[in-house]
């Protein structure tokens, strides 16, 4: 095969190769080599019928090594494997016992994969050629297994190909062994990279993530620096292809998702300040709630309600302090069921943590005596309650019928008496039940539950006046709430009576830490002024996007004024304004044209004289009118952002020495 045909086959220029071979055949119809070479070209074009016809013609003219090899390749393409083996065996007769030629013939046979290891152990053979054939054929088998979802089998083939390719991955095998490129079109230049990439892909598909990462790291260690970026991008794409596809589809439908990192950054930036301000905010909410500022408005009967009726007479000015307190209570206070339970539980848990911190702080300062013994407190409460119940029971027994007048009844004492009677009744009932259970004279299955319930209800109705009972219960509830309020007040007092020295030391530690962080940030900004400027711009956008856009818009407006001021002034002086064409006025005594000359804008005079008040939509006058009305609004958004970024970059580059 001459150099022209060889080079054309390497670059897959089939038209040139076929044209040269046709010219040789036309010049000599008995040139068996030209027929064999054209059979190779037709096989590369997958034209198996023409390839077999040219191969048979070459062998019929003169049997040769190239003729039988081309015939074997064409027969393999037509799936006639037994006949192809015969052709390859006939080709071996023309090797003249040349080991290199016989070795090459053996490698291109279809069964080479089955005997490649056996051949590699023989002396005087080209091992690199053996490894090339093994690696390429293993890659093809691995691709077939990968397409059939046989991932473990694919891993086996690709691993063998990668191991074989380690013997030639730094050698220019596509130039040394171009026979494989000419005959079969093998891509030998990227064979090592293809084998290792496919091995990594198959390991991922098989679930061997650790082995896949190790394979990727091995490739990164062996390739050049200019190829690492492409390999990183490929590895990122194959790790989670389905997740990446779903994510891209979701982002395309929900572009607001891209703002999530900014929201997270904003939350993290303000998290320390929120933690510091949370106790004070919680205390403010609690005070407003106690005073009477609720979500639905001012609570009836509260201090806020009385102050509102006494001071404002029911009408509260919108800018008054009372109105601001009312708005704060409406937005921060939530009734039951308006928010999830976790939102209500969080402040309670935080208050418990604050209380624990306060008690620990007081113990650290040696004020352990000031801590409350809660067990003694609860014992005292129960003992006092028991004494009150006993006293209430005696008073109830001593009450006459006259004393049942609602105006003369002390409902708090009555409620205490009622609770005491109920407690005694329950105790007595419990004793009776235990006694009956011990005697086993009650069969629960034979009890008529409906009659039993009716008897209980009728007996209870006879014993109590339920309206008075409910009034007593409500009165007792109000007294309990008052007691709870006093306990909460005492609890808050204990928290805020922690040693002043402890709080001073804590605040000094916090301030010193903040000052140290600011000094470190300042030193870093001096070394990296541009990065610091970019971080500050990002922080400005994250913390308050409105302020950031306002600054950008102001900068963009300034740039537009500088660029478009002459045009805008000309249009404005002509009379085209944002509200429309400026109207003219009449001045008496001036007789330039008529007795009453009309003075006004040029646009107004031109409109009245030329169009008589009606301007066609597509005229130049209409375009100028629309430009004067909307000129300031069209480019502001884009120009403001671009100009703001440009000004920041330019000023940071030119005036960065200010920070040094």
Distance, CA of 49 to CA of 55 (rounded, Å): 10
Q: Where are the beta strands (DSSP E) in 501-634?
A: 576-577, 580-581, 585-588, 596-599
Q: Is the pTM of this model over 0.95?
A: no
Is residue 293 domain-shared with residue 383, that is, in the same domain? no
Please report the DSSP string for 20-74 in residue order.
HHHHHHHH-TT-HHHHHHHHHHHHHTT-HHHHHHHHHHHHHH---HHHHHHHHHH
The pLDDT of residue 357 is 38
In this structure, what CATH number is given to the domain that contains residue 208? 1.25.40
Q: Is residue 616 part of a domain?
A: yes
Instruction: Judge if 480 and 586 occupy the same domain.
Output: no
Q: What phi, psi does 123 have (nearest 5°)?
A: -75, 160
Q: Which residues pair with 293 in a beta bridge?
A: 298
More confident residue, 434 or 577: 577
Question: How many structural domains does the chain have?
Answer: 5
What average pLDDT does range 428-437 have in this prediction?
55
d(CA 621, CA 607): 8
Domain final position from 60, 94, 128: 94
Give pLDDT, residue 520. 72
Q: What is the mean pLDDT of residues 275-302?
A: 73
| Over residues 172-186, mean pLDDT | 57
> Each residue of 106-128: pLDDT tens digit?
555 544 334 444 444 555 555 66
| 366 belongs to a structural domain | no
pLDDT of residue 143: 78
Share of the chain above pLDDT 90, in %: 0
Same-domain pairing of 578 and 607: yes
- Rounded Cα distance between 326 and 334, Å, is 13
100 lies in some domain: no
* C-alpha separations of 309 from 24, 321, 400 in Å: 116, 15, 42
Query: Phi and psi dihedrals of 487, rounded to 5?
Result: -65, -40
Give the pLDDT confidence of 584-609 residue by residue, as tens digits: 543 333 333 333 334 557 677 777 76
- Residue 501: beta bridge partners? none
Domain carrying residue 84: 1-94
Residues with Cβ within 8 Å of 288's Cβ and at least 6 positions away in sequence, in order, are 325, 328, 329, 332, 333
> Which range is least confidently modeled, 141-145, 513-517, 590-594?
590-594
* pLDDT tens for each residue of 187-237: 666 777 777 888 888 887 787 777 877 877 777 877 777 777 777 777 766
pLDDT digits (tens, 9 = 90+) for 359-415: 334 333 443 333 344 445 445 545 555 565 566 556 555 554 445 454 555 555 555
Question: Does any domain span residue 166?
Answer: yes
The CA distances from residue 140 to 43, 168, 191, 256, 401, in Å, are 18, 18, 11, 45, 107
579 and 553 co-located in one domain:
yes
In a domain, residue 105? The reply is no
Do 215 and 278 belong together in one domain? Answer: no
β 576-577/580-581 pair status: antiparallel
Residues 356 and 385 in one domain: no
Q: Tell me, what CATH number does 45's domain have? A: 1.25.40.10
Mean per-residue pLDDT of the chain: 62
Residue 155: pLDDT band (50, 70, 90) is: confident
Q: Is the pLDDT of residue 287 over 60?
A: yes
Do residues 382 and 356 both lie within one domain?
A: no
> Are residues 339 and 389 both part of a single domain?
no
Contact 508, 501 (CB under 8 A): no
What would the pLDDT profile of 33-65 be if each residue is shown by its tens digit? 888 888 878 877 778 888 888 888 888 888 887
Question: Can you state the angle between helices 81-91 and 65-77, rounded to 10 degrees?
Answer: 170
602-639 per-residue burial string, b: 16 or more CB within 10 A, e: under 16: ebbeebeeeeeeebeeeeebeebbeebbebeeeeeeeb
């Amino acid at each position: 095969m001459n150099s022209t045909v060889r080079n054309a086959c390497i670059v897959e220029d089939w038209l040139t190769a076929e044209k040269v071979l046709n010219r040789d055949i036309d010049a000599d119809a008995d040139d068996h080599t030209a027929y064999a070479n054209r059979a190779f070209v037709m096989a590369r074009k997958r034209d198996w019928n023409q390839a077999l016809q040219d191969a048979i013609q070459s062998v019929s003219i003169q049997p040769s090594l190239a003729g039988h090899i081309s015939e074997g390749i064409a027969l393999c393409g037509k799936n006639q494997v037994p006949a192809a083996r015969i052709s390859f065996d006939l080709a071996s007769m023309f090797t003249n016992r040349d080991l290199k030629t016989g070795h090459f013939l053996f490698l291109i046979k279809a069964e080479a994969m089955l005997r490649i290891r056996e051949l590699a152990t023989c002396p005087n053979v080209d091992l690199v050629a053996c490894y090339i054939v093994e690696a390429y054929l293993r890659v093809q088998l691995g691709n077939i297994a990968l397409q059939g979802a046989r991932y473990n089998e694919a891993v086996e083939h690709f691993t063998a190909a990668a191991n074989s390719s380690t013997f030639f991955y730094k050698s220019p095998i596509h130039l040394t062994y171009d026979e494989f490129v000419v005959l079969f079109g093998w891509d030998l230049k990227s064979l090592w990279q293809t084998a290792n990439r496919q091995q990594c892909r198959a390991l991922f598909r098989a679930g061997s993530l650790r082995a896949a990462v190790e394979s990727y790291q091995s490739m990164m260690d062996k390739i050049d620096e200019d190829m690492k970026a492409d390999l990183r991008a490929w590895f990122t794409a194959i790790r989670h292809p389905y997740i990446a596809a779903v994510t891209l589809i979701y982002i395309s439908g929900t572009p607001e998702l891209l703002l999530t990192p900014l929201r997270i950054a904003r939350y993290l930036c303000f998290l320390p300040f929120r933690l510091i301000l949370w106790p004070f905010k919680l205390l403010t909410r609690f005070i407003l709630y106690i005073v009477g500022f609720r979500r639905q408005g001012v609570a009836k009967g509260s201090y806020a309600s009385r102050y509102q009726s006494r001071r404002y007479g029911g009408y509260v000015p919108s800018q008054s302090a009372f109105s601001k307190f009312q708005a704060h209570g409406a937005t921060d206070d939530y009734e039951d069921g308006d928010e999830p339970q976790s939102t209500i539980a969080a402040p309670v848990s935080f208050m418990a943590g604050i209380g624990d911190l306060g008690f620990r702080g007081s113990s650290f300062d040696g004020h352990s005596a000031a801590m409350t013994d809660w067990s003694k407190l609860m014992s005292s409460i129960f003992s006092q309650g028991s004494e009150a119940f006993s006293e209430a029971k005696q008073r109830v027994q001593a009450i006459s019928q006259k004393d049942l007048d609602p105006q003369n009844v002390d409902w708090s004492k009555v409620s205490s008496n009622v609770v005491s009677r109920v407690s005694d009744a329950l105790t007595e009932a419990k004793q009776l039940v235990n006694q009956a259970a011990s005697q086993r004279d009650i069969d629960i299955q034979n009890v008529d539950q409906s009659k039993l319930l009716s008897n209980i209800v009728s007996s209870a109705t006879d014993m109590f006046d339920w309206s008075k009972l409910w009034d007593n219960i409500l009165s007792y509830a109000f007294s309990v709430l008052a007691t709870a309020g006093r306990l909460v007040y005492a609890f808050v007092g204990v928290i805020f009576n922690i040693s002043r020295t402890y709080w001073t030391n804590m605040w000094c530690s916090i301030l010193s830490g903040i000052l140290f962080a600011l000094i470190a940030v300042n030193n870093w900004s001096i070394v990296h002024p541009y990065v610091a400027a970019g971080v500050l711009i990002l922080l400005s956008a994250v913390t308050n996007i409105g302020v950031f856009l306002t600054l950008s818009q102001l900068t963009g407006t300034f740039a537009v004024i500088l660029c478009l001021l002459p045009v805008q002034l000309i249009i404005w002086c002509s009379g085209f304004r944002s509200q429309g064409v400026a109207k003219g006025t009449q001045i008496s005594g001036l007789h330039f044209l008529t007795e009453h000359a009309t003075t006004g804008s040029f646009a107004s005079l031109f409109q009245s004289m030329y169009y008589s008040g009606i301007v066609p939509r597509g005229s130049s006058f209409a375009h100028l009118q629309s430009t004067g009305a909307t000129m300031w609004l069209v480019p502001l958004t884009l120009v403001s952002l671009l100009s703001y970024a440009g000004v920041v970059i330019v000023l940071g580059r030119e005036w960065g020495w200010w920070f040094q």
